[in-house]
Amino acid sequence: MNAIDIGPLQLVFSLGFVLLAGVSSLILNLNLHRDIAWGTVRTITQLFLMGYLLKYVFQLQSAWMVLLIFAGMIFFAARIIAGRVKVRNIPFITPTIISMFISYMLVTFVVTAVIVRVKPWYEPSYFIPLGGMIVGNSMNAIAITLERLFGDLRKQREIIEMYLSLGADYREASADILRQAISAGMIPSINSMMGVGIVFLPGIMSGQIIAGANPVVAVKYQIVVMLMLVGSTALGSILVTYLVRRRCFTPDHRLLVPAER
């Protein structure tokens, strides 16, 4: 069974879903209609561009090209995170990109080279879709982690400064905050594991079944995907929290994050 193609008219019909969301925003004064409209334009444009780009990338069989595209995905994901995390006096973008590249590259390599055993390991038709799922899902986890880290540092500034004044270093003064931030980032992926297969059928499994793949094979891939997302979320959240936390303090252990107003 081949996947049923979706024509232009059907794509136009699907815009009714975002039209419903936009009208709801206007009626309820949610002020989300502009974001919905802009998000729709970006979704359509970016996916079509990526679709045509991948059509040629899949034919190149170049490790450097695959890694360049992967790095670009991470860079734009970091840009999105920067727009969500409203902190300007802490330089967190560079450590975020570093932690994302290390963790996502490691997990994607293990999945393609060791678990799926693709040859070569950078096979674009496997590496980019799997890596893209890791970047997309873990991006949200890192945004949540950073928001929790900065938010708790603001709220608990007085407590942290008390610890510092009593002789604690920045690690001891912020140990609980670090653990809570990492936990906040990991919880969504753990919750997804609880409901997968019963509450919802995830994207890769649904896509393979629609394309005519054996449901049992699709299930095996989905198991790998769910587990790799938990691993990448954990590794990325831990790395980014440790790297960014150090930048929240001066070399002499003074907190740089301003108090909550």
- Give the whole-angstrom CA distance, residue 204 versus residue 193: 14
**What gap in Å lies between CA 228 and CA 247, rounded to an integer?**
29
Percent of the chain with pLDDT over 90: 36
Q: What does the block give as tokens for 200?
A: 């919802």
Read off the tokens for 173.
């003064």
Q: Region 6-25: what's the mean pLDDT?
A: 88
Give the CA distances from residue 70 to residues 18, 49, 105, 160, in Å, rounded to whole numbers and listed in that order. Answer: 29, 15, 9, 38
Residue 241, classified by CB atoms within 10 Å of its CB into exposed (0-12), middle (13-18) or buried (19+), is: buried
Query: Is residue 163 over pLDDT 80?
Result: yes
What are the pLDDT digits (tens) for 60-112? 778 888 899 899 999 999 988 988 888 878 889 999 999 999 999 999 999 99
- Domain layout of the chain by residue ranges: 1-60, 61-247
Cα 148 to its chain centre, rounded Å, is: 16
Task: Determine the straight-line distance between the first and last CA of the chain, rounded to whole angstroms.
Answer: 60
> What three-state secondary structure class fits 255?
strand
Please tell me the distance from the alpha carbon of residue 209 to that of residue 43, in angstroms, as a whole number.
23
* Chain CA centroid to CA 131, Å: 10
